[in-house]
């Protein structure tokens, strides 16, 4: 697709069947927001919902609201909603803790299941450019358990799946370049090699179709998955994360009384018995640990509901189609209007390999260029050492937003304003 005028983009917006979903969000005037892959926009219902939780449920209901307002069931209720977005079943996914904490849990369980099956496999295999916190968690587990952590380039993964690999750990959409893995094909290859697969869905849940259960084909189903709530799920800064395990694994854990390593009280089979000894809950509930952050969970539910509002309009498939159209337009416009200005596309041109973002490298001034854009009201982000990232959230990103963002990018590059010293000063968060 090549749209040559802003007027053509306006027509695309007028004919967009998802356009009305933008009204579900609070979006500041004069801002083009292309950073939903880092922090989703504020759902319009979230402030009132949080106020109700704080003022009414907490303020008046006090501790009674664990029962009367249903606080105790929020992790499962919101989990069931997220499950609809990632190809999981009801009762299979729960909201709990942070992504890094959940990854620690499932990696340890995956290694335990491998060991209990009598395997001597002793390697966690991952992508070299995986999200750093995932690498840090895997490194700490490998060090504590005496297993090897092997980092390889993405293209080398199939050849590395041998009898040494216990667990393959991957992020579905790479945070830097937006490259998407073929989940079903990788699950199939890993299982054929005797390995389990752990997926991080932080950059795909809510924007890219995910089929954790493999449409019932166990060879193509994932084994474990984690993901955060504050990117495309629009749950707000620091929103709690989610964790999923295939039912065959939770059934095995139930049968063997196998624990995840963080045996917190809400993962107990009867937390309000206050028994001195731990007895894990059945199913996915055993992956809970600490007390649920109710205020944040309420905000996350509002965010997830914005995505479920797309179901009558085609759901995640319709969101994916619009996302691809938006990123295709962005790439085409940069090709046409910013050629020769030092931008090097990092995101795959092939649509099936592309997530919901477009990334460019700029060797000389990526950070400063992004700061100059932000000063103009075009908000993307920078990733070291030289990446400009532009995320599209099809719930609220318009085709005219893409046109205007690229026009501002062209102007920033052409007039050299990014060379102003103020844009080169690094803030704590980039």
Q: Which of 124, 127, 126 is nearest to 142 (CA)?
A: 124
User: What average pLDDT does range 162-186 have in this prediction?
Assistant: 97
Q: How confident is the model at residue 47 (pLDDT cuts 50, 70, 90)?
A: very high
Helix residue ranges, H only, 93-213: 99-116, 132-145, 157-160, 183-192
With the C-alpha atoms ordered 365, 370, 371, 376, is the resulting torsion angle positive or negative? positive
Quote the number of domains for the chain. Answer: 2
Statement to judge: residues 254 and 390 lie in one domain? no
Owning domain of residue 344: 6-42+315-424
| Residue 295 within a domain | yes
Statement to judge: residues 339 and 299 lie in one domain? no
Statement to judge: residues 302 and 319 lie in one domain? no
Statement to judge: residues 96 and 215 lie in one domain? yes
Q: pLDDT averaged over the chain?
A: 97
Is residue 94 predicted with pLDDT exceeding 60? yes
pLDDT tens-digit map of 109-127: 999 999 988 888 999 999 9
| Residue 165 within a domain | yes
- The DSSP secondary-structure symbol of 305 reads H
Is residue 49 predicted with pLDDT exceeding 60? yes
Q: What is the CATH number of the domain that holds 417?
A: 3.90.1150.10
Rounded to whole angstroms, how far apart are CA atoms 246 and 242? 14
Statement to judge: residues 76 and 37 lie in one domain? no
Whether omega before 385 lies within 30 degrees of 0, making that bond cis, reads yes
User: What average pLDDT does range 389-403 have in this prediction?
Assistant: 98
Statement to judge: residues 264 and 345 lie in one domain? no
Catalytic positions: 131, 200, 230-231, 389
pLDDT tens-digit map of 52-87: 999 999 999 999 999 999 999 999 999 999 999 999
Residue-level pLDDT at 430 = 86
Q: Which of 317, 327, 336 is nearest to 354 (CA)?
A: 327
Q: Which of 252, 227, 231 is nearest to 241 (CA)?
A: 227
Statement to judge: residues 277 and 350 lie in one domain? no
Q: How confident is the model at residue 257 (pLDDT cuts 50, 70, 90)?
A: confident
Q: What is the CATH number of the domain that holds 199?
A: 3.40.640.10
Residue 180 CB neighbour total at 10 angstroms: 23
C-alpha distances in Å from residue 214, one per residue of 222, 258, 276, 391: 7, 25, 40, 27
Residue-level pLDDT at 3 = 64
What pTM, to 2 d.p., does this model score?
0.97
Rounded to whole angstroms, how far apart are CA atoms 358 and 274? 50
Statement to judge: residues 29 and 88 lie in one domain? no
Torsion of CA 430, 323, 32, 297, to 10 degrees: -70
Q: Which of 267, 285, 306 is the last residue of a domain?
A: 306
Residue-level pLDDT at 2 = 61
Helix-helix angle 399-415:6-14, to 10 degrees = 160
Q: How confident is the model at residue 4 (pLDDT cuts 50, 70, 90)?
A: confident
Is residue 1 predicted with pLDDT exceeding 60? no
| Residue 213 within a domain | yes
Rounded to whole angstroms, how far apart are CA atoms 329 and 392? 11
Q: Which of 261, 283, 306 is the last residue of a domain?
A: 306
| Residue 81 within a domain | yes
Statement to judge: residues 321 and 288 lie in one domain? no
Q: Which of 306, 336, 358 is the last residue of a domain?
A: 306
Statement to judge: residues 373 and 393 lie in one domain? yes
Statement to judge: residues 265 and 370 lie in one domain? no
Statement to judge: residues 138 and 172 lie in one domain? yes
End-to-end CA distance of the chain: 32
Q: Could you identify the residue written with the tokens 């801002």?
A: 31
């Amino acid at each position: 697709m090549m749209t040559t005028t802003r007027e053509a983009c306006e027509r695309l917006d007028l004919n967009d069947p998802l356009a009305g979903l933008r009204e579900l969000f609070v979006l500041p005037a004069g801002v083009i927001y292309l950073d939903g892959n880092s922090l989703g926009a504020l759902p319009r219902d979230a402030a009132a919902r949080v106020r109700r939780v704080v003022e009414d449920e907490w303020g008046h209901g006090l501790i009674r609201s664990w029962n009367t307002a249903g606080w105790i069931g929020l992790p499962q209720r919101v989990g069931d909603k997220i499950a609809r977005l990632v190809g999981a079943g009801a009762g299979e996914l729960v909201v709990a803790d942070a992504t890094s904490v959940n990854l620690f849990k499932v990696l340890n369980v995956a290694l335990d299941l491998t060991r209990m099956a009598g395997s001597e496999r002793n390697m966690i295999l991952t992508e070299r450019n995986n999200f750093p916190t995932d690498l840090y968690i895997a490194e700490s587990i490998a060090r504590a358990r005496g297993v090897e952590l092997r980092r390889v380039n993405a293209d080398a993964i199939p050849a590395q799946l041998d009898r040494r690999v216990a667990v393959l750990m991957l992020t579905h959409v790479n945070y830097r370049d937006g490259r998407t893995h073929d989940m079903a094909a990788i699950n199939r290859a890993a299982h054929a090699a005797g390995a389990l697969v752990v997926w991080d869905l932080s950059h795909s849940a809510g924007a890219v179709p995910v089929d954790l259960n493999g449409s019932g084909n166990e060879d193509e189903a994932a084994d474990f998955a984690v993901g955060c709530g504050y990117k495309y799920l629009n749950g707000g800064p620091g929103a709690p994360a989610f964790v999923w395990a295939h039912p065959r694994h939770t059934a095995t854990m139930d049968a063997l009384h196998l624990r995840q390593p963080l045996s917190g009280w809400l993962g107990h089979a009867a937390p309000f018995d206050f028994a001195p000894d731990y007895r894990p809950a059945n199913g996915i509930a055993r992956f809970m640990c600490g007390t649920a952050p109710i205020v944040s969970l309420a905000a996350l539910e509002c965010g997830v509901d914005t995505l479920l509002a797309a179901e009558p309009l085609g759901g995640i498939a319709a969101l994916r189609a619009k996302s691809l159209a938006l990123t295709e337009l962005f790439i085409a416009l940069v090709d046409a209007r910013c050629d020769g200005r030092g931008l090097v596309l990092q995101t795959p041109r092939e649509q099936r390999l592309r997530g919901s973002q477009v990334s460019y490298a700029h060797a000389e001034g990526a950070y400063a260029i992004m700061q100059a854009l932000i000063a103009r009201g075009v908000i993307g982000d920078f990733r070291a050492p030289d990446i400009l990232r532009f995320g599209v959230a099809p719930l609220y990103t318009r085709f005219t937003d893409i046109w205007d963002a690229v026009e501002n990018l062209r102007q920033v590059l052409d007039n050299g304003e990014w060379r102003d010293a103020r844009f080169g000063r690094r803030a704590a968060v980039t």
